[in-house]
Structure 1
Amino acid sequence: MISFNYETDFKLEDETRLSKWISKTISSENCNEGEINFIFCDDDYLHKLNVEFLEHDTLTDIISFDYSVGKELHGDVYISVERVADNAKDYDVEISEELHRVMIHGILHYCGYKDKSDEDSKLMRAKENHYLSAMD
């Protein structure tokens, strides 16, 4: 089950569509959907989590906590809508496109994809682009 939670004034306009898209992505990756929570917040909220849990004193757009068991995906995906908006400006894309990319990025991590090496990052980006183009 995919749920969307808000710690800021931001609200998704198309929760049902996004939920179906994420579910389809999980299935396409031969994984099973467990309980996945998206939490949309501001920079301050995510910065505190970054310091407390990862010991990184930096701003970030996403932090995902993975509680998956084998191929059954479970986790909490925290997304700073402020950071996503700034990144969208930097990359010259619509905020919705950047938001969807960050959302599916978190899911792809749960599916086992990494992004620490250049090779892994290229594969992650290719997967992101594939699933972004598959949105209904």
Structure 2
Amino acid sequence: MSIEIANESGVDVDTDAILAVARHALDEMGVNPLAELSILLVDLEYMTELNHRWMDGDGPTDVLAFPMDEGSVDHGPGEGAGTEPTLLGDIVLCPEVAAKQAGNVGHSTADELHLLTVHGVLHLLGYDHAEPEEEREMFGLQARLLSGWQAKNTGRASDGQPGAVGPV
């Protein structure tokens, strides 16, 4: 699994942990190990621009997901794993928005960034939360993935619920 990460936010974050939680989510979801993912951390100004341009939103948001080939995600042997790498897409995170949300819900900025990373991965895999049933499925899966990762890496579990996940 190839995951590239770039921190252009100006905020010091643990990119190794973000990579680890993304890899955990992709592994747990059975995504082909040849898949490629890009994660970009940006500042408020750039996130505001992206949110306006691509989501027609006002102001910055916490996470955006840009799938490359929505219909061609190879989830592994059960779906006939290919030998060519699959470009999953890009996840864009804004640590400053994550910090504000973390404060509002009472957990750390790192925990919020981990949650947003898993949220972005699920969007790249085709999950959505526009309808109540979709929201229950996506957030339930998000909670399970986060809890499993946190139990394995930090010795604690999370409820996996979003602080205030914005439009993605």
Q: What TM-score does the superposition give when structure 2 sets the normalisation length?
A: 0.72
Partner of 1:124: 138
CA RMSD of aligned residues (A): 1.8
* Greater strand fraction, Structure 1 or Structure 2: 1
User: What 5-or-longer segments of structure 1 have no aligned partner?
Assistant: none
1:12 to partner: Cα distance:
3.2
Segment drifting more, 68-77 vs 120-129: 68-77
Q: How many residues are paired up?
A: 135
**For residues 15-73 of structure 1, what are the alpha-carbon distances to aligned partners after superposition, in whole Å with 9 as ceiling and x for unaligned?**
1x543442232132122252211111121110101112222223210111100333245
1:26–1:111 Cα contact (<8 Å) kept: no
1:36–1:76 Cα contact (<8 Å) kept: yes
Partner of 1:115: 129
1:42–1:80 Cα contact (<8 Å) kept: yes
Percentage of matched positions with identical amino acids: 23
Partner of 1:25: 25
- C-alpha distance in 2 between matches for 1:23 and 1:133: 14
User: Is 1:106 aligned with 2:120?
Assistant: yes
Q: What TM-score does the superposition give when structure 1 sets the normalisation length?
A: 0.87
2:132 partner amino acid: D
- C-alpha distance in 2 between matches for 1:14 and 1:38: 10
Partner of 2:165: none
Partner of 1:52: 53
User: Is 1:134 aligned with 2:151?
Assistant: no
Radius of gyration: which is bigger? 2
Greater RCO structure (CA 8 Å; 6+ sep): 2
Partner of 1:39: 40
**For residues 50-105 of structure 1, what are the alpha-carbon distances to aligned partners after superposition, in whole Å with 9 as ceiling and x for unaligned?**
11222222321011110033324521111111110011011111111111000000
Q: What SS does structure 2 have at the residue aligned with 1:65?
A: strand
